[in-house]
Structure 1
Amino acid sequence: MKTCLLATALAALLPATAVAHFQLNYTEDAMIDRPGDVPMGLIFWHPFENGHVMDMGVPQEFFMVHNGEKVDLSDRLEPASFTGAANEAAAYRATVPVKRSGDYVVVTVPAPYYEESEDLFIQQITKVVLNRNTLPTDWDQPVGLPTEILPLNKPYNVIVGSTFSGQVLAEGEPVPGAEIEVEYMAAEPDLEAFATTKPTAQPMPGGSVVVIADQNGVFTFGIPKAGYWGFAALGSGPVTEHEGKDLSQDAVIWIRAEDMK
């Protein structure tokens, strides 16, 4: 209940431009054909509106889980500057070693970001699931984060026109009534240039797209368009303060939707 009240209070305080912050763990594809090191961009951005990019500090953790084994990837992080439509900001390049068949749950625990306009910190603990050879291994298992979204659909095999469901967890327990902000990656990054591309959609006129989880922390959202969709459970984490200021510790997951052909 305390977590739910915090999320509600933070959502009321933040303007539309602030709540649209989304941490990206971006790869060009979620389904990996060949073994090797997969390029990834870690970017803190507004990808739906192709808007302002925020400076990232050094991530507290960067790792993957494959076949139940946690592998530290922090030595694969490389500081870089990402160029958005409005500005440049500090971000990170990385590579993910995808070799054997199965799922690769890639997690970024970023340093808390200070939002000066609201005098609070934001920490978006973010995961994305890559897969090789269509063998499911880890996608439906929690990875032990302070807060996370557990997918209830295979997150790299979502069909446009169907739905995606997830369960919001904090310290392994469901978060009833969690508020989840939905983001479409309208402008997918060019990883070679490390810059934005032309957006393929515009934000909705009603502002941020939001869904509310039920008493078991479960939410469902209909997927209208192919591409990457992000879901952020606002203030769902147990940590509510950083350096003497309020902290919104959010759980983020990105999924990949495809048209049926």
Structure 2
Amino acid sequence: MRSLFLSAAALISGLLMSQPAAAHFQLIYTPEVNVEAAGTLPVKLIFWHPMENGPAMDMGQPEQFFVVHRGEKTDLKPTLKPITFKGTEGSAKAFAGALTLKRSGDYIMVAVPAPYLEKSEDVFIQQITKSFVNRSGLPTDWNTAVGLPAEIVPLNKPTNVIAGSTFSGQVLSDGKPVAGAEIEVEYMAALPDMQGDGTAKPTTGPLPGGALVAVTDANGVFTFGVPKAGFWGFAALGVGPATSYQNKKLSQDAVIWVRAYDLPGAP
């Protein structure tokens, strides 16, 4: 299996640069992805450029928002409320919701947003997005496909990747691996404010040369060297079976977010 490894040293130095990136990323964001107690977590759905706290795009009412836990699917759309997300480059329509944790194990959140018209390219974008929360450290569903038309299945546990190690994922279209898929990689350098509707200042800048890109191998697998703790997003562009919407081209993308940590020091 051929894997693509990106130089951690080159990437870290690039994070200090400030040229703009073009990557659109759908977020399903909650600050804590490893929790011990049962309860309810706040969640925000935002369509944004989080590496540089760049432009946010208006979201329409999501077509689907649900969670899969131990193979059981629960609709989360009733928890959604519209908000106005305020970034440094304007405001946009977004949504606030909630995830209730009961039993231990993995919770796979999925958002299927309404297609967004990118007017500059006259193309619709629909980023089918997965994000993960784990309760009590018990692994249950994290590496299971949930049957999306466009999907990335993690091959490393996505809630505790170690910075300096690698993350691998398999890209699927209608359940079949996609060879040669282009993967855009994004670091969530600016974090949404869960108390208000704004954002914190970015902790790094975007890479020179535009979006960071990898490509899947013959089995639909990509591997990325994770250089820094935080949230990392991966978008497989145009891999979904739907290619048109309202008589325009549609890029149906698969997005996944994972959480990386620095290796803890000795007690």
The CA distance in 1 between the partners of 2:20 and 2:210, in whole Å, is 9
Q: Give the aligned partner of residue 227 of structure 2.
A: 224
Quick one: distance in 2 between partners of 1:19 and 1:238? Answer: 24
1:177 aligns with 2:180: yes
> What residue is the counterpart of 2:62 in the other structure?
59
* Ranges of 4+ aligned residues in structure 1 off by more than 2 Å: 16-19
Structure 1 residue 35 displacement after superposition? 1.1
1:166 aligns with 2:156: no
TM superposition score normalised by structure 1: 0.93
* Greater Cα offset, 28-37 or 108-117: 28-37
Following TM superposition, by how much is the alpha carbon of 1:157 offset from its aligned partner in structure 2, in angstroms?
1.1
Structural mapping, 1:10-89, within 5 Å: 19-89=22-92
2:209: which partner in 1? 206
- For 2:36 and 2:88, how far apart are their aligned partners in 1? 31
TM-score (norm 2): 0.91
> Is 1:103 equivalent to 2:106 in the alignment?
yes
CA distance, structure 1, for counterparts of residue 82 and residue 50 of structure 2? 20
Q: Deviations over 1:4-24 (max 9, x none)?
A: xxxxxxxxxxxx978410000
Deviations 1:138-181 (A, max 9, x none): 00100000010000000001000000000000000000010000
1 CA distance for matches of 2:40 and 2:97? 9
> Residue 28 of structure 2 aligns to a residue in which SS?
strand
Unaligned runs of at least 5 residues, structure 1: 1-15
Deviations 1:220-258 (A, max 9, x none): 000011000000000010000000000000000000000
Matches of residues 179-194 of structure 1 in structure 2 within 5 Å? 179-194=182-197
> In the TM superposition, what is the alpha-carbon distance from 1:99 to its structure 2 partner?
1.6
Shift in alpha-carbon separation, 1:17–1:63, aligned structure 2, 3 A: farther
Deviation, structure 1 residue 33:
2.5
Q: Percent identity?
A: 61
Query: Over the residues paired in the alignment, what is the CA RMSD in angstroms?
Result: 1.1
CA distance in 1, matches of 2:53, 2:36: 29
Q: Deviation string for 1:171-224 (max 9, x for gaps)?
A: 000000100000000001111112111111111112110000001100000001
Partner AA of 1:102 in structure 2: G
Letter in 1 for 2:192: P
1:250 aligns with 2:253: yes
What residue identity is the alignment partner of 1:84?
G
Q: How many residues align?
A: 246
